[in-house]
């Protein structure tokens, strides 16, 4: 952890912090979504993370995608906001956050997916019918479920 969140953790320890985040669900030409197995809780998730001071949320999402999965987002489409009790999370190290996450869909990206910063153990594309929601990181389950439901329509 670096930047703003690291500075806040120095001040408040493990207490709950409001975390504004930008995230991206990458979709390939077959309609599959790219997920990474997180190294902290070993659950699957998309790329995303906390915004820095004065950082545009779109830029945050693009930065996180590049840092975590080695991809460059070329076009973003707003998908949803993930917030509220379902997005509250306690990390394995005890840090607690109340997430306010802006999620984008990205169908146009470049690069070869690769776990780059140690936050993801492995990356894999999933068809919606292959996703086990219990294997998705808890604070983003509602988002993945909403994406699957939207694709089913």
- Paired tokens of 25: 């669900």
**Which of the four pLDDT bands, split at 50, 70 and 90, describes residue 1?**
low
Q: Quick check: 51 and 22 in contact, CB under 8 A?
A: yes
Specify the pLDDT at position 116: 85
What are the residues whose beta carbons fall under 8 Å from the beta carbon of 63, sequence distance 6 or more?
Answer: 22, 55
SS3 69: helix
- Paired tokens of 144: 């993945």
Q: pLDDT for 79-122, tens place per residue?
A: 999 999 999 999 999 999 999 999 999 999 999 999 988 889 99
Q: Looking at the domain covering 12-152, what would its CATH class be?
A: alpha beta
Every domain of the chain and the residues it spans? 12-152
Nearest to 130 by CA among 23, 22, 30, 24: 30
Look up the pTM and report it.
0.94
């Amino acid at each position: 952890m670096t930047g703003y969140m690291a500075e806040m953790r120095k001040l408040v320890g493990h207490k709950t912090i409001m975390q504004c985040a930008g995230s991206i669900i990458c979709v390939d030409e077959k309609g599959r979504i790219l997920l990474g197995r997180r190294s902290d809780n070993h659950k699957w998730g998309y790329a995303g993370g906390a915004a820095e001071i004065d950082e545009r949320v779109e830029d945050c999402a693009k930065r996180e995608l590049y840092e975590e999965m080695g991809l460059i987002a070329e076009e973003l489409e707003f998908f949803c906001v993930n917030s509220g009790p379902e997005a509250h999370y306690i990390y394995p190290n005890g840090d607690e956050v109340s997430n306010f996450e802006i999620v984008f869909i990205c169908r146009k990206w470049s690069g070869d997916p690769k776990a780059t910063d140690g936050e993801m153990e492995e990356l894999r594309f999933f068809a919606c019918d292959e996703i086990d929601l219990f294997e998705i990181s808890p604070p983003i389950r509602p988002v993945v479920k909403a994406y699957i439901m939207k694709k089913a329509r």
